[in-house]
Amino acid sequence: MPRGDGRLNHDLFPGEKGPQDACGVFGVWAPGEEVAKLTYFGLYALQHRGTESAGIAVSNGSQILVFKDMGLVSQVFDETTLGSLRGHMAVGHARYSTTGSSVWENAQPTFRATATGSIALGHNGNLTNTGELSRLVAEQGPDRGEINYPYQGRIEASSDTDLLTSLLAGSPDLSLEETAMQVLPKVKGAFSLVFMDETTLYAVRDPQGIRPLVLGRLERGWVVASETAALDIVGASFIREIEPGELIAVDEHGLRTRRFAEAKPKGCVFEYVYLARPDTTIAGRGVYASRVEMGRRLAQEFPVDADLVMPTPESGTPAAIGYAEQSGIAYGNGLVKNSYVGRTFIQPSQTIRQLGIRLKLNPLREVIQGKRLVVVDDSIVRGNTQRALVRMLREAGALEVHVRISSPPVKWPCFFGIDFATRAELIANGLSVDEIAKSLGADSLAYISLDAMVEATTIPKDRLCRACFDGEYPIELPDPERLGKHLLEGIEQTVRTDVDGVQALLGGGGAEDALRRP
């Protein structure tokens, strides 16, 4: 899949699914502005966070209209569609599925119509107590205030976001804001939310602040987004981050803020390593500067005699620059990327599939031949991409290939919004560094230390989630079989066949109220 900022190292090998982000969210309250177009451009800046589906909901003060579909932002929306989405407030979402399958019913924003109004919601993160939340939805019963529609013959939504939207729609006697203040303390996991009713835009961040969420100011309104880069593209000035455990609301009376939980900051360190755009700032630290510093520290910890430092395009580039600066070894691009190879609905034949990463990268033989190379990448998940890359560089004439990784070995799965493989599939979980190097065919392999990586972010270690590297999860997890992802995806299968029991209540009602292309 193509990345919004051109990053593709983890998408090079057919079937290789690397560390994918859960989603990107965007919201705007700006009377007099073309909010649908602002949201489109905001999502365009966040495309790297989710490439499976995209959607925009707009409100004109009395009605919410949602348009969403499968595909990239630029594939889902055109001028005509955006022109039909009129209002003063909007919520947008770009999705990569971590809980719930990749189907249209799970595209966001999710939508609920109730007897007192409507709700549209976008979510970045992953909830870990969906079993508990499912019971709460079931306890609300069929008359919980949400306007339901026939389930027969329809695939229901199966995402954690769908459950959360149902809970927020389940108290028609309360305002959406008051309902949120009651529901949010019961929600566990990672959640950066942007949602709205007909009159008010809301933004929420979980008490740990695992996923980023920022607030920006327009001349005539407010913007919230997953990353500061999305503020830049719509001309909004950065105000501050949404605090962990905070709810903000924007309406005709201005901006107000409330706290639903104590802040216990544990921002995801992998945002600095790979997930966020390099031109984004998180917690006051530029992502690009952090990655360059990781490269410098990697060179200090694991030097090597070589002729050329080169990145695996493109997310390895800042760290490779830092490695070259610190080591004094020349920096160069040894690979040419085909920018137009991305998502395709044309299935390659076996012959083409065997070309592997050559479909996306081709070596510059005159740069590589006869050289001892240091190849810098941001992380290794399964190792298939790096193995194919090492082989390709040797075939192009490299004398030696030394692989350097600007994050520690990934040994633990993520339950907070990154679609890492199960632990059994992580190459670093079962092999030593030397064994991995042998598996890749590299002359040497080294990973930056955990402490050096953390220091490069300038964020205190105790304020970062490092669970994928050290197994220390900042939120207590339920038993594996009760974890949100596994539970919900089991529910999904049941919902498709049982429409009379509780399972039917757990599916999404009102998905058909959103528009999509025929």
Taking only the tens place, the pLDDT of each residue in 37-46 is 999 999 999 9
| CB-based contacts of 413, cutoff 8 Å, min separation 6 | 420, 421, 422, 423, 426, 468
Q: Does a structural domain hold residue 383?
A: yes
| CB-based contacts of 497, cutoff 8 Å, min separation 6 | none
Q: What is the mean pLDDT of residues 17-33?
A: 83
Q: Cα–Cα distance between 399 and 135 in angstroms, integer?
A: 60
Residues in the chain: 518
Q: Cα–Cα distance between 44 and 31 in angstroms, integer?
A: 22
Average pLDDT score, the chain? 85
Of the given ranges (218-227, 340-349, 499-508), which has the lowest mean pLDDT?
Answer: 499-508
CATH code of the domain containing 131: 3.60.20.10
- List, as one string, the DSSP characters of 105-121: GG-SSEEEEETTEEEEE
Of the given ranges (170-184, 405-419, 490-504), which has the lowest mean pLDDT?
Answer: 490-504
Distance (Å) of CA 225 to CA 21, 63, 232, 318: 15, 23, 10, 24
Positions marked catalytic: 23
Q: What angle do CA 450, 455, 458 make, to 5 degrees?
A: 140
The total of structural domains in the chain comes to 2
Q: Cα–Cα distance between 9 and 313 in angstroms, integer?
A: 6
Residue labelled with tokens 């493989």: 421
Q: Does a structural domain hold residue 490?
A: no
Cβ atoms of 514 and 70 within 8 Å: the answer is no
Q: Cα–Cα distance between 21 and 383 in angstroms, integer?
A: 19
Work out the pLDDT band at 341, boundaries 50, 70, 90: low
pLDDT at 4 over 70: no
CATH code of the domain containing 337: 3.40.50.2020
Residue labelled with tokens 């924003």: 109
Q: Where are the alpha helices (DSSP H) in 169-241?
A: 176-183, 228-233
Domain containing 206 equals: 17-266+498-510
pTM of the predicted model, to two decimals?
0.86
Co-location of 296 and 402 in the same domain: yes
Co-location of 435 and 331 in the same domain: yes
Co-location of 409 and 296 in the same domain: yes
Cβ atoms of 415 and 364 within 8 Å: the answer is no
Q: Does a structural domain hold residue 484?
A: no
Measured over the CA atoms of residue 277, residue 335, residue 292 and residue 9, the dihedral's sign is positive
